[in-house]
Chain A
């Protein structure tokens, strides 16, 4: 029986892009369905009744939710010859720790930096840069977070690179100056087809965020 793999997503979501990249790394054929988040589909509400959020991966009719849980599922289900997580338990725990760090720190700082104003926004910008520097420290001189192979932590972080242009424009700073190794790592990741095909154009994303922000302010 052929696998049926559906991804419920929204084009700007960095979490959805994690899933896309993981599926493409494993060479899995899938069908992306773009959700209208102001009018969620019956399928989304049925497949993720608890959180009602994208992304949701539907594999042969069964849903998997929460992006990092989905990426681990993809890793366990397909392409055992090209694992995203290392095999050693300690290295796996380390990879999971850093992906969790991206969720706890990078996402919230980036979001706050975008939506807040004044002093609160400055604090969020500072937090974002500090968090990125911690990641730069962890990356060091390695090609990827796990060493020589593209893996779990890279998948968890790379989608946020599409926000860099928006954040540095709004916050008036330069990410390449603050975190040159992270920027070099981004360029390296973008050479992978799985990443280049999955991430939206950062200028298109910036225009979208600006338009949304204006709408929000007008309300």
Chain B
């Protein structure tokens, strides 16, 4: 039976981008369906009745929700020869810890900075990026030599760099040069280049909806 893989998504969603990257890394053919978040489809409400949010991955009719859970599901279901998570339990725990850090720290700081563009929010955002830069160090990717789970969880945030720098008036390259180099390295991967929206198009979108930023996970 041919596989049916549908991704319910919204093009600016950082969390949707994670799923897109992971699916493309694994070479999975999927049908991306754009949701109108002001008028959610019956399919979305049926597939994610608990949170009613995108992204939702529907694999042969069964839904998987929450972006990091989805990425792990994708990793466990397809392409075992190119795993996103390491095989060693301690390294796996480390990868999960850092992806969780992105969700707990980077995302809220991003929302506050964009929503209010005030100094303390910006400072917090930069501090969090610096912690990540420290963790990356001189490695090519967060897991070492191979693109993996933490990279997937964080790279979507690169598409927001231009907007943040403009709104909050700072240079991410100056603050976190290794992170910017890492992002450029990730963008050379087809899975990433195809999955992240153009940062100028995204900038226009963010500015026009800044007062009511409610990017669904």
Residues of A within 8 A of B (CB): 50, 59, 62, 64-66, 69-70, 72-73, 76-77, 89-90, 92-93, 96-97, 100-101, 134
- Ordered by A's residue number, 13 sampled pairs between the chains whose C-beta atoms are within 8 Å are A50-B131, A64-B90, A64-B97, A65-B97, A69-B96, A72-B93, A73-B89, A73-B90, A76-B92, A90-B73, A92-B72, A96-B66, A101-B50
Verify B69–A73 contact, CB threshold 8 A.
no
Q: Is B176 an interface residue (CB 8 A)?
A: no
Verify B93–A64 contact, CB threshold 8 A.
yes
* Segment at the A interface, from B57-65, B143-151, B204-212: B57-65
Verify A93–B89 contact, CB threshold 8 A.
no
Verify A69–B100 contact, CB threshold 8 A.
yes
Cβ of A150 to closest chain B Cβ, rounded Å: 21
Cβ of B54 to closest chain A Cβ, rounded Å: 15
Bound-state CA distance A70–B73 (Å) is 19
Chain B residue with Cβ nearest A62: B90
Verify A92–B76 contact, CB threshold 8 A.
yes
Bound-state CA distance A50–B90 (Å) is 17
CB-contact partner of B50 in A64, A96, A134, under 8 A: A134
Known: A66-B96, A90-B64. A96 touches B89 (CB 8 A): no
Q: CB within 8 Å of A: which of B84-98?
A: 89-90, 92-94, 96-97
Bound-state CA distance A20–B49 (Å) is 32
Q: Is the interface of B mostly helix, strand, loop or mixed?
A: helix
Q: B129 — which chain A residues lie within 8 A by C-beta?
A: none
Bound-state CA distance A97–B47 (Å) is 13
Besides A92-B72, A97-B64, A100-B66, 19 more A-B contacts (Cβ < 8 Å) are A50-B101, A64-B93, A64-B97, A65-B97, A66-B97, A69-B93, A69-B97, A72-B93, A73-B89, A73-B93, A89-B73, A89-B76, A89-B77, A90-B64, A92-B73, A93-B64, A93-B72, A97-B65, A97-B69
Q: CB within 8 Å of A: which of B30-55?
A: 50
Known: A50-B131, A93-B70. A70 touches B93 (CB 8 A): yes
Q: B70 — which chain A residues lie within 8 A by C-beta?
A: 93
Q: B92 — which chain A residues lie within 8 A by C-beta?
A: 72-73, 76
Q: B101 — which chain A residues lie within 8 A by C-beta?
A: 50
Q: A76 — which chain B residues lie within 8 A by C-beta?
A: 89, 92
Most-contacted residue by chain B among A69, A70, A134 (CB, 10 A): A69
* The 8 A-B residue pairs with the shortest CB-CB distance in the complex, in nearest-first order: A89-B76, A76-B89, A93-B73, A73-B93, A69-B96, A64-B93, A96-B69, A93-B64
Q: CB within 8 Å of A: which of B167-187?
A: none
Bound-state CA distance A77–B97 (Å) is 17
Cβ of A104 to closest chain B Cβ, rounded Å: 8
Bound-state CA distance A21–B96 (Å) is 21
Bound-state CA distance A90–B77 (Å) is 9
CB-contact partner of B96 in A72, A89, A97, A101, under 8 A: A72
Q: A73 — which chain B residues lie within 8 A by C-beta?
A: 89-90, 92-93
Cβ of A142 to closest chain B Cβ, rounded Å: 17
Hey, what's the 0/1 contact readout for B98-134 against A, CB within 8 Å counting as 1?
0011000000000000000000000000000001000
Q: B64 — which chain A residues lie within 8 A by C-beta?
A: 90, 93, 97
Verify A66–B62 contact, CB threshold 8 A.
no
Verify A96–B72 contact, CB threshold 8 A.
yes
Bound-state CA distance A65–B97 (Å) is 7
Bound-state CA distance A89–B60 (Å) is 13
Bound-state CA distance A101–B51 (Å) is 9
Cβ of A210 to closest chain B Cβ, rounded Å: 29
Q: B97 — which chain A residues lie within 8 A by C-beta?
A: 64-66, 69
Cβ of B95 to closest chain A Cβ, rounded Å: 9
Chain B residue with Cβ nearest A69: B96
Chain B residue with Cβ nearest A94: B64
Bound-state CA distance A92–B66 (Å) is 13
Chain B residue with Cβ nearest A104: B51
Q: A65 — which chain B residues lie within 8 A by C-beta?
A: 97
